């Protein structure tokens, strides 16, 4: 029995709580575009070929690349699939579909175990540093994270470290007001200085979660690296072991460009997790697998809609369900 079959059995036997139901619905709806394009193409391929041939593999390769799993990942994946087909003497394309899902699942769960949980500081504020290029939804992601933690009864503060971009500081302050979070920021000032003062206030106010916005300029990597080094030093001076998380925000609809951003940011600072925004608006849901294969950084949150509640902690089971719902529920 393959990994996917075991997952399918466990998933169908699992007792579903109200929270699980909500999660299933969110992932089902959020990954609908990817599922329709990707799984439908897989089904059509299975109907077109009743035997596994070289032409079948060529078309499969295109389908996987279109789902934005990434060319390198796809090439390795096809090689692994071909060797499994040969080893297990697979000829039936219907059965091969399950093997394909099995191998995609293996991409995410194999190798180093990646934690998708946020590291919480037990002694004082948990500091989450947010990085990413402008326009990916970083500010709204901070707002959604604030909403999540405030809803859980946590005291949240936002610090505006993107000090020179026009309108960035008042925009974040507005989100702080809307989410009942505390705020600290001063425009046109040294970001590290603002963060230094903001953290003093956070400790005075006994804040649970500190969300720090940063500039999104990747054009000059050296400058950004120096700025982030300075920021990290300041944070570590105030709170031992902080930042506890450095989350990179990527717009899922940019596909492979998002992978390039992840690779660039990984070179300049220690990224502990990724937030994928706008996953509901794209058919490029395979980017989750590409990120794991390319940069080996865990996806910690995914954006499945515009509402505050639509930023969800990443769950590999719910993700596999959202992508392959029809195959999982087939014959339920």
Q: Find, among 330, 326, 248, 246, the residue nearest to 294 by Cα.
A: 248
- The whole-chain average pLDDT of the chain stands at 89
What does the pLDDT average to over 264-293? 90
Identify the pLDDT of residue 144: 97
Higher pLDDT, 142 or 71: 142
Least confident of 152-156, 164-168, 248-252, 280-284: 280-284
For residue 8, name the pLDDT band (cuts at 50, 70, 90).
low
* Residue 318, CB-side half-sphere exposure with 13 Å CA sphere: 22
What does the pLDDT average to over 166-182? 97
What does the pLDDT average to over 38-50? 88
pLDDT > 60? residue 113 = no
Least confident of 97-111, 125-139, 189-203, 248-262: 97-111
Higher pLDDT, 18 or 278: 278
pLDDT > 90? residue 174 = yes
CA distance 138 to 123: 27
Least confident of 16-20, 172-176, 197-201, 223-227: 16-20
Q: Is 31 in a helix, a strand, or coil?
A: coil
Identify the pLDDT of residue 332: 47
Identify the pLDDT of residue 168: 94
What does the pLDDT average to over 201-214? 97
Cβ count near 329 (within 10 Å): 12
Identify the pLDDT of residue 117: 83
What does the pLDDT average to over 28-54? 89
pLDDT > 80? residue 249 = yes
Roughly how many angstroms between the first and final C-alpha of the chain, as a whole number? 17
* The dihedral formed by the CA atoms of 92, 97, 99 and 101, expressed in degrees to the nearest 10: 180
Least confident of 161-175, 201-215, 306-320: 306-320
Which residues are registered as beta bridge partners of 309? Answer: none
pLDDT > 60? residue 52 = yes
For residue 3, name the pLDDT band (cuts at 50, 70, 90).
low
Tens-place pLDDT, residues 299-319: 999 999 999 999 999 988 788
CA distance 327 to 43: 10
Higher pLDDT, 38 or 126: 126
Residue percentage of the chain with pLDDT more than 70: 92
3-state secondary structure string across 295-311: HCCCEEEEECCCCHHHE
Sign of the dihedral defined by the CA atoms of residues 302, 304, 308, 309, in that order: negative
Backbone angles phi, psi at 85, to 5 degrees: -60, -45
Least confident of 2-11, 26-35, 52-61, 262-271: 2-11
CA distance 29 to 23: 10
């Amino acid at each position: 029995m393959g990994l996917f079959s075991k997952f399918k059995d466990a998933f169908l036997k699992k007792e579903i709580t109200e929270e699980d139901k909500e999660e299933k619905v969110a992932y089902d709806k959020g990954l609908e575009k990817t599922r329709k394009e990707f799984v439908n193409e897989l089904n059509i391929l299975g109907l077109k070929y009743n035997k596994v041939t070289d032409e079948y593999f060529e078309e499969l390769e295109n389908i996987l690349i279109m789902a934005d799993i990434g060319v390198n990942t796809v090439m390795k994946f096809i090689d692994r699939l071909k060797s499994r087909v040969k080893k297990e003497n697979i000829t039936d394309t219907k059965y091969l579909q399950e093997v394909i899902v099995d191998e995609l699942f293996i991409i995410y769960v194999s190798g180093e175990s990646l934690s998708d949980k946020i590291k919480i500081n037990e002694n004082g504020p948990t500091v989450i540093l947010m990085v990413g290029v402008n326009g990916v939804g970083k500010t709204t992601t901070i707002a959604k994270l604030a909403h999540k933690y405030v809803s859980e009864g946590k005291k949240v503060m936002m610090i505006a470290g993107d000090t020179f971009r026009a309108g960035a500081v008042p925009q974040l302050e507005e989100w702080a007001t809307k989410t009942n979070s505390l705020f600290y920021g001063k425009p046109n000032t040294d970001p590290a200085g603002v963060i230094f003062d903001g953290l003093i206030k956070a400790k005075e106010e006994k804040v649970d979660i500190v969300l720090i916005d940063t500039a999104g300029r990747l054009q000059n990597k050296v400058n950004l690296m120096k700025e982030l080094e300075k920021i990290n030093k300041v944070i570590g001076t105030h709170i031992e072991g902080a930042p506890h998380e450095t989350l990179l925000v990527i717009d899922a609809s940019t596909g492979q460009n998002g992978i390039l951003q992840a690779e660039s940011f990984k070179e300049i600072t220690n990224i502990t997790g990724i937030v994928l925004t706008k996953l509901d608006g794209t058919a490029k849901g395979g980017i989750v697998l590409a990120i794991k294969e390319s940069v080996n950084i865990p996806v910690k949150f995914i954006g499945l809609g515009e509402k505050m509640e639509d930023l969800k902690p990443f769950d590999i089971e719910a993700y596999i369900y959202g992508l392959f719902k029809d195959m999982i529920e087939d014959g339920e």
